Amino acid sequence: MTETSISHLITHLLEQTNAFADGKDAPEANIDEILATVPTVAVLNPWNNKRIYELPQLSVAQVVDSIDYAREYQPVWGAFAASSRAAFALALHDALVKHEKQLLDLLQLETGKSRQHAFEEFAGSVGSLRYYGKTASHTLRRQRTKSGVPILTRSYVDYSAVGVVGVITPWNYPLALAIFDVIPALLAGNAVVQKVDNQTALTGLFTRALAIEAGLPEDAWTIVAGDGADIGNAITDNVDYVAFTGSTATGRIVAARAAARLIGCSLELGGKNPMIILPGADVHRAAEIALAAAMGNTGQLCVSIERVYVPNSSIDAFLKVVAKAANARTVGRTNDFGVDIGTLTGTAQLQRVTSMVDDAISKGARLVAGGQPLPEVGPNAYAPTVLTDIPADAKLDRGEVFGPVLQVYAYESVQEAIDLANDTDYGLNASVVGPESEAIAVGLKLRAGSVNINEGYRASFASMASPMGGMKSSGQGRRNGPGGLLRFTEARTVATAGGPIKLPTRAKAYNRMAPLLRILNAVLRRF
């Protein structure tokens, strides 16, 4: 992305939040002059830790002003027919397809992910737009429901927008997570204020620019950037609903602040996701599935597999195969599908992964593959890593590592594997590898919001018609599917009474009505 296009996007960030200093008008002001008057942070390229550009940091007051303005505008957007809003989603779908290369380039620039993992994110994004573009009108239409007193009454359910939705997205999937949350909130008739992560602001701003080209009114979707805690709290404390994706620790804060205001929230949080390999499963195929699930997006994925449970009878063979396969994974930077894994997104991520792996090894874990940074590849690159014999007191045993690390454990019985897989505070995603019918039976016993059979996460991740979310400390609420749209609405029941027979209004009228209702109860019980 050129300096000119970056400046253009930054100008739009400042324009939409009235963040210009000294009343300067954006088209006439030089962006460098403006940036000299506002707080900024340096956004670094994960592949070399060099500055890409300076990102303006908005104040709490500016964010609150943006939310107030969005609330004023929301009735305008909400008055659009649901079919028109759905048509916008399909137009944005086509815009993303048209700009696939630019989006993949941008995702790689900001996150350091490989081309294949950037493409996976892109594919999920257009899949979501296609799904909601084709189904939103039907899902949002007024629906007739069974009345309590047939003939005498009729009832309907109507869905209305909640108002202003706050969407807080992390850096690891800046395109997909915006599409998964921002777009259904817009299609439900809400105005949206999205807080992007500083590291991936350009992806959010570019996606919004494409949305405006696709027909979205500019005032319907506002993007803000700034300090995570301050701006995140400002959003939660002022919007009518908040959708948050991030750590469990921060999610608890969002939930508490939302509860204090009695507003709704959906939270997609952390995971320590297990995979069970059943007896008799092909170890070569199982190893490939496990590594693909652990190394997706360099492991920086909430639904990636971190723990694998293997039968005692197969553990040695599995470790031998998975070690060879891990060592064969290529790590590097290309703009094609030439390497398997990209880099970690920043120094903090490298330190997190390195410290957790080193801690486990120092406490007795056995290193099977990898286990070290790759400075010759990039300052934040880390080798695909496999460990076993992880002690219970290692941070890695239960903590989410969020990196290219696979932990392998042995089990004696399938029930033991199920118990071990469920022995976690998290419950986001799980996987079972083996004969399909048996694997499904095992999967239904796992406490996770999604369970993949003979796949790590992509089978469920790609199903936009299916709900996605976590159990236990992995979150609340669901994205995707009809519920992923209706969470951004208020359900209103509209019931009418009329016809030749009227509902009673005085006690004596029940002398005639009660016998009829008793007969009606008996009839309804039969059908």
CA distances 512 to 149, 417, 443, 499, Å, are 15, 64, 56, 17
Q: Is the dihedral of CA 122, 127, 133, 136 positive or negative?
A: negative
Bridge-based pairing of strands 264-268 and 241-245 is parallel
Residue carrying the six token digits 């009474």: 497
Residue carrying the six token digits 């709490």: 60
Amino acid at 511: N
As beta bridge partners, residue 101 has: none
Residue carrying the six token digits 């204090």: 260
Residue 29 tokens read as 């002001």
Contact by Cβ (8 Å): 308, 409: yes
Distance CA 305, CA 111 (A): 20
- Give domain 3-269+482-486's CATH number out of 3.40.710.10, 3.40.50.720, 2.60.120.200, 3.40.605.10: 3.40.605.10
Contact by Cβ (8 Å): 274, 434: no
Q: Is position 268 annotated as part of the catalytic site?
A: yes
pTM of the entire predicted model: 0.94
CATH architecture of 273-469: 3-Layer(aba) Sandwich (3.40)
Residue 49 contacts by C-beta under 8 Å, 6 or more apart in sequence?
Answer: 347, 379, 380
Catalytic residue among 54, 110, 120, 302: 302
φ, ψ dihedrals at 333, nearest 5°: -120, 115
Distance CA 71, CA 85 (A): 18
One pLDDT digit (tens) per residue for the chain, 527 residues: 666 677 777 777 777 665 444 444 545 556 676 667 789 999 999 999 999 999 999 999 999 999 999 999 999 999 999 999 999 999 999 999 999 999 999 999 999 999 999 999 999 999 999 999 999 999 999 999 998 888 888 999 999 999 999 999 999 999 999 999 999 999 999 999 999 999 999 999 999 999 999 999 999 999 999 999 999 999 999 999 999 999 999 999 999 999 999 999 999 999 999 999 999 999 999 999 999 999 999 999 999 999 999 999 999 999 999 999 999 999 999 999 999 999 999 999 999 999 999 999 999 999 999 999 999 999 999 999 999 999 999 999 999 999 999 999 999 999 999 999 999 999 999 999 999 999 999 999 999 999 999 999 999 999 999 999 999 999 999 999 999 999 999 999 999 998 777 888 888 888 888 888 888 888 888 87
Q: Is position 416 annotated as part of the catalytic site?
A: no
CA distances 160 to 187, 192, 445, 474, Å, are 11, 15, 37, 28
Residues of the chain with CATH 3.40.605.10: 3-269+482-486
Residues of the chain with CATH 3.40.309.10: 273-469
Q: Which helix H or strand E contains 323, and what residues bound it?
A: helix 315-328
Q: Over the range 242-253, which residues count as b (16 or more CB within 10 Å of their CB) and which as e? A: bbbbbebebbeb
Catalytic residue among 54, 110, 120, 268: 268
